[in-house]
Structure 1
Amino acid sequence: MKADAATLDRISQALKTARAPSSDFDLNDDAHLIAGIKTRPAGVLCALQDVGGTLQVILTVRSSALKHHPGQIAFPGGKQEDSDADVIAAALREAREEIGLPSEIVEVLGCLPPHQTVTSFQVTPVVARVHGDFIVRPEPGEVAEVFRVPLAHVLDSGAYSVQSRAWRGTMRHYFTVPWGPYYIWGATARMLRELAEAVE
């Protein structure tokens, strides 16, 4: 079995194991606030693509004009619309709209537990394999850039660190997993770490 095939099998098996939800509050003192927050469902696509024989994770740099998380690094995805059957359908639709990823070449492997953000979204990370290549078409209004990070990097728990910054008058702690010039942090880093922990 090829190394990447073995990795995909490990991921598929890991996604079948029940895990507790995560949140932006995990590393902070206000976790007790989660119960009182009304959230909106959303789906993001953690798409794994074979590039030159190495599995890569597709990520985006969000447009600086967006209301939520402008300029940050994120998975393609967004809130679930009434027309979406579920959060998986939402993730696939958003990936098609945001980066031009055709749903027919995407094989869903499973989902990580939901992640609650400080912006009141209940985000379900949908982990999937991309079969073949496609023409990346960033949606100008939402995506400033599309790039890839080696899956091996984000599966390495040693690549993560906890940092902090001021947000709305208080210090917030969060995970980071930088890659080259890309500062991957916050909810995206937390969900990637959840994947790493599940596979480990």
Structure 2
Amino acid sequence: MQLAEARSRLLLSQQAPASPYPVHNKANLKQSAVLLGLWDGPEGVHIWFTQRPMYLKHHPGQISLPGGKYEDGDTDLTQTALREAFEEIHLKPQQAEVICRMPTHYSHTGFAVTPIVASIERDFSPIADPNEVADCFSVPLSFFLNSENLHQMQVQRNQTQYPVYFMPYQGRLIWGVTGAILYQFSRSLI
């Protein structure tokens, strides 16, 4: 799939499914945003990811999309995602063209995470901030469109069942809220 086709499918999809995670008190959640950055690679569309350093207090070593918490200076969550992508991988806002905003996902760690989908200039080369990012890499969208690569299991937390989505990719494990976002995103393209 090429970027133009992915963009068209996203914009034509009627309604993406809601977050699979139950929310008991949305008022106390910290607003945050991630950038689901798409770029046209040699084998079709790719998605940019980061890996968090092991020394971080929250989610050490996890695979994530560039992003973070909403700050008072941000005008909206789109600006949050673009600001964080610049801080983490040096993606300048003018190198990203926002396509759409996906439904918010809720984490058990107290965050409301809103994915912002954008097309990224093909010649962008990430420069990881070593204080926030241990590694930066991309995965072909076709990997997520293949249902054999998408796994889920039911877990129970506080007497509530919810799905956990995970996708092993070349020795890395994409899971949690990032996995749920990718599951929802890939299903909206089919």
Same fold (TM over 0.5): yes
1:19 counterpart residue number = 16
Aligned residues: 188
Amino acid at match of 1:21: A
Give, in angstroms, the shift of residue 164 of structure 1. Answer: 6.8
Change (3 A) 1:82 1:194: same
2:164 matches 1:177: no
Distance 1:35 1:164, change over 3 A: closer
Which of 69, 78, 95 pairs up with 2:85?
95
- When structure 1 is superposed on structure 2, of 151-160 and 189-198 the one drifting more is 151-160
Structure 1: stretches of 5+ with no match in the other structure: 26-30
Distance 1:158 1:114, change over 3 A: same
CA distance in 2 between counterparts of 1:58 and 1:141 reads 18
For the pair 1:36 / 2:25, whether they are aligned, the reply is: yes
- Whole-angstrom distance in 1 between the partners of 2:37 and 2:125: 15
Which of 118, 129, 133 aligns to 2:123? It is: 133
The CA deviation string for residues 125-159 of structure 1, in whole angstroms up to 9 with x for no partner, is 00110123123111111100001000111123332
Distance in 2 separating the partners of 1:4 and 1:20: 22
Shift of 1:173: 5.1
Which residue is 1:186 aligned to?
A: 176
Which position in structure 1 is the counterpart of 2:5? Answer: 6
Task: Return closer, same or farther for 1:135/1:199 CA change in 2, 3 Å cut-off.
Answer: closer
SS of the aligned residue for 1:42 comes to: strand
Task: Return the offset for 1:172.
Answer: 7.7
CA contact (8 A) 1:76 1:91 kept: yes
Contact 1:42 1:90 in 2 (8 A): yes
Output the TM-score relative to the length of structure 2: 0.89
Deviation at 1:188, TM superposition (A): 0.6
User: C-alpha separation between the residues in 2 aligned to 1:167 and 1:137?
Assistant: 37
- Distance between the aligned counterparts of 1:95 and 1:3, measured in 2? 23
| Alignment check: 8 A CA contact 1:177 1:184 kept | yes
Given residue 7 of structure 2, which amino acid in structure 1 is its aligned partner? L
Matched, 1:158 2:148: yes
Partners of 1:76 and 1:155 in 2: CA distance: 21
Q: Is the 8 A contact 1:58 1:148 kept in 2?
A: yes
Question: What TM-score does the superposition give when structure 1 sets the normalisation length?
Answer: 0.84
8 Å contact 2:156–2:162 — kept in the other structure?
yes
- Aligned-pair CA distance for 1:60: 0.6
Q: In 1, are the aligned partners of 2:165 and 2:179 still within 8 Å (CA)?
A: yes
Picking from 72, 82, 94, the partner of 1:104 is 94
Q: After TM superposition, give the deviation of residue 167 of structure 1 in Å.
A: 8.6
Unaligned runs of 5+ in 2: none
Partner of 1:114: 104
Which deviates more from structure 2 when the two are superposed, residues 80-89 or residues 150-159?
Answer: 150-159
2:71 aligns with one of 75, 81, 86: 81
CA distance, structure 1, for counterparts of residue 3 and residue 76 of structure 2 = 29
